[in-house]
Amino acid sequence: MNDQPQNGTDNLAFKIARLVEERGWNQEDFARIAQINRQTAHEILYPTVQRRLRNVTIGRCAQALGLAVNELRNLPLERLLPRMHKARAVTADEALQHLFERATQPELLAWMERNPDRARQLTTTEIEELLSLQGTGGPLTPIGVEHYISLLERKRRLVDQVHAIAGTEYLELLEKMVALMYEKIQPYPDRIG
């Protein structure tokens, strides 16, 4: 890895590379955990040409490192480094092993065997949610495993997109759109008098 960042874009790539190094991840770990391709991981960790990072890539790197996009972009490296030691990220294989060990519903086990790649993409939170819904007569049975996991995947993609947008100049527009939609789903307040 390079020792000195040269400009804003390089500075962010340098910061990500340094945080990845602090986590103890190699290039393969980083690519898998951040859900980016190996070429992109290599270009971040070992930059040879100036490359502008896409917002979605920055969002995935931030999420993998346990940071918000604005923290990754704006906080100095010195403030971020200590946070890399507070909590070790669970690898996809560890999360999948946890799911296999605790899954009791036959439909869930069968789905995992048919879809190992998709199962590996499930986050720790999604796995805990799935495990809490299983059981005879549990909510997962009538909904169906495939349908519920498809919903989880859709939500994950949407959150990734929101994270990417939140790190851009479109943040204000995003806030307005979310506020309008949130207002629509809120129950009407009781009117007194």
Per DSSP, the residues of 112-167 read HHH-HHHHHH--HHHHHHHHHH-STT-THHHH-HHHHHHHHHHHHHHHHHHHHHHT
Instruction: Mark the ranges of the chain whose per-residue pLDDT is less than 70.
Output: 1-10, 85-92, 187-193
Give the amino acid at 31: A
Burial 63-91 (b: 16+ CB within 10 A, else e): bbbbbbbeebeeeeeeebeeebeeeebee
- The pLDDT value recorded for residue 176 is 94
The pair of structure tokens assigned to 62 is: 């931030």
Would you state the pLDDT for residue 154? 94
Can you give the pLDDT at residue 89? 53
- Residue 3: the pLDDT is 43
Domain annotation for the chain: domains and CATH numbers: 8-85 (1.10.260.40), 92-185 (no CATH)
Q: What do you get for the CA distance between the two ends of the chain, in Å? A: 68
**pLDDT attached to residue 190:** 54
pLDDT of residue 134: 82
Cβ atoms 81, 24 nearer than 8 A: no
Q: How far is Cα 66 from Cα 131, in angstroms, rounded to an integer?
A: 23
The residue behind tokens 């990845």 is 20
Among candidates 82, 74, 91, 77, which has minimal Cα distance to 171? 74
Q: How many CB atoms lie within 10 A of CB 51?
A: 14
pLDDT of residue 143: 81
pLDDT, one tens digit per residue, over 132-156 is: 888 777 778 778 899 999 999 999 8
